[in-house]
């Protein structure tokens, strides 16, 4: 089947079997491999992307459901000149990662979290980010990064 959508601002038409998952389309058809697959069962959040501005686990939806949707992946959030998104910069600054496997999904979820809860506190971040798992960090620096990234996103000139 044919699905027309926008990915990171570019119009894309994909021809794929009806049972193709969105994460397969992103990784295997579009070769945007920053979106990871950790569990394939909607538990770990490594596959999180934005669909029409909201975070979504892309292993848990079909490409066929995305007709006309606007998708943003981790490759699409920095500026064209390479300037990192404030949330990416905060993860870098706070050392919010170790192996980096969970990081793209964490960042995409964190942006959505902070869009909907500007200036979220550490406690709120811990509660609201519970759909994203990290096997390395113990979460401490991830939480710090999300709080810092949220503040930067709320700052007047961002």
Interface residues with ligand FES (CB under 6 A) are: 37-40, 42-47, 57, 59, 97-103, 134-137
What is the DSSP secondary structure assignment for residue 98, as one 8-state letter? Answer: S
In terms of Cα–Cα distance, which of 90, 55, 86 is closest to 73?
55
In angstroms, give the least distance from the CB of 155 to ligand FES.
Answer: 26
The least distance separating ligand FES from the CB of residue 67, rounded to whole angstroms, comes to 21
Q: Cβ distance 1 to 62 under 8 Å?
A: no
Whichever of 77 and 97 has its CB closer to ligand FES, that residue is 97
Nearer residue to ligand FES within complex by CB, 49 or 153 = 49
Rounded to a whole number of angstroms, the minimum distance from the CB of residue 41 to ligand FES is: 6
- If the CB atoms of residues 83 and 135 are measured against ligand FES, the closer one turns out to be 135
Judged by CB, which is closer to ligand FES: 43, or 154? 43
In the complex with ligand FES, the residue whose CB is nearer, 60 or 154, is 60
Residue corresponding to tokens 């811990």: 126
Least CB distance to ligand FES at residue 44 (A): 3
Residue-by-residue DSSP string for 34-68: TS--S-SSSSS-TTEEEETTEEEEGGGSBGGGGTT
Q: Which residues pair with 15 in a beta bridge?
A: 2
* CB-count exposure of residue 18 (10 Å: 0-12, 13-18, 19+): exposed
| Least distance (Å) between residue 81 CB and ligand FES | 27
The token pair that represents 60 in the structure block: 């848990």
């Amino acid at each position: 089947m044919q699905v027309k959508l926008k990915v990171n601002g570019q119009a894309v038409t994909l021809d794929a079997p009806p049972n193709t998952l969105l994460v397969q389309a992103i990784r295997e058809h579009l070769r945007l491999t920053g979106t990871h697959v950790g569990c394939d069962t909607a538990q770990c959040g490594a596959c999180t992307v934005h669909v029409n501005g909201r975070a979504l686990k892309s292993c848990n939806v079909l490409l066929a459901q995305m007709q006309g949707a606007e998708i943003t992946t981790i490759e699409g959030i920095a500026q064209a000149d390479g300037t990192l998104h404030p949330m990416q910069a905060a993860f870098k600054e706070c050392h919010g990662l170790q192996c980096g496997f969970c990081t793209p999904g964490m960042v995409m979820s964190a942006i959505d979290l902070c869009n909907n809860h500007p200036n979220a506190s550490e406690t709120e971040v811990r509660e609201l980010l519970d759909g994203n798992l990290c096997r390395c960090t113990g979460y401490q620096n991830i939480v710090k990064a999300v709080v810092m990234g949220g503040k930067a996103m709320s700052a007047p000139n961002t």
